[in-house]
Amino acid sequence: MSGSIVVLISGSGSNLQAIIDSVKAGDIPGQISAVISNKENAYGLQRAEQADIPTRVLDHTEFANREIFDANMIRLIDEYQPDLVVLSGFMRILTADFVRRYAGKLINIHPSLLPKYQGLHTHKRAIEAGDSTHGASVHFVTEELDGGPVFIQASVPVEQDDTPETLAARVLVQEHKIYPIAVKWFMEGRIQLQDNIPHLDGVSLAGNIPLLSA
């Protein structure tokens, strides 16, 4: 399927860059129709402009509440008729209306081996817990924050002298591998939700999530 991908960002957009590169290499069928940021200073906007991808900014602080912001985001996103909406370092919790609007075609990458460490500051939490491994997960987005069904993960070792920053950098390398794979699978029609369980090529991933190990 050659379709439309809309990417939402809030910051650096390094995962966006990995997806841009993968589309350019012809590995992902489809195109990034737009990159939308809730922060006007997001470096990811420059990455998109350098790749001649349309950019839009919708500053969440300019809206009275989350519901109104999301309603305006929906109106903007729908201009591009997306087959897939990709959250890439997008740092706003989305309302039920937004999640319902794009159910089954809204994905996120989260810097932990879900279901461990939903929410923020995941690397610091993993280090403080004394974990020996950490990683990243790509999941469908649901109302439950970072609780949606996961369909690909990557793991990395946690080193004794790791700081949240060194661990984040190691995880990010793996994120840049699994996110383009996840988008490719979706755009090829290979990954689908059936009864809220991800299936790859028709095979259930329940208890069998693909895991890349660094």
Ligand X SMILES: NCC(=O)N[C@@H]1O[C@H](COP(=O)([O-])[O-])[C@@H](O)[C@H]1O
Ligand Y SMILES: Nc1nc2c(c(=O)[nH]1)N[C@@H](CN(C=O)c1ccc(C(=O)N[C@@H](CCC(=O)O)C(=O)O)cc1)CN2
Active site residues: 110
**Beta-bridge partner residues of 153:** 137, 211
Show Cβ contacts of residue 7 under 8 Å, excluding neighbours closer than 6 positions: 16, 19, 32, 34, 35, 36, 48, 85, 86, 87, 88
Report what 112 binds from ligand Y, ligand X, none; CB cut-off 5-8 Å by kind: none
Nearer to ligand X, 12 or 192 (CB): 12
Q: Which is nearer to ligand Y, 103 or 145 (CB)?
A: 145
Using CB under 6 A, count the residues that bind ligand Y. Answer: 16
- Kindly state the DSSP code that residue 61 receives in the 8-state scheme: G
Q: Which of 47, 105, 110, 176 binds ligand Y (CB under 6 A)?
A: 110
The answer to whether 91 is a known ligand-binding residue is yes
Amino acid residing at 138: V
What is the maximum alpha-carbon separation in the chain? 48
How many CA atoms lie less than 13 Å away from 65 in the CB half-sphere? 2
Q: Could you give the CA distance from residue 88 to residue 46 in angstroms, rounded to a whole number? A: 15
Q: Using CB under 6 A, which of the segments 23-31, 141-149, 155-163, 206-214 binds ligand Y? A: 141-149
Closest contact distance (angstroms) between CB of 110 and ligand Y is 4
Nearest distance in Å: CB 106, ligand Y: 9
Contact positions vs ligand X (CB under 6 A):
9, 11-16, 44, 88-89, 109-111, 136, 172, 175
92 belongs to the binding site for ligand Y (CB under 6 A) = yes
Asked if residue 115 has a cis previous peptide bond (ω within 30° of 0), the answer is yes
User: CB of 133: closest distance to ligand X in angstroms?
Assistant: 16
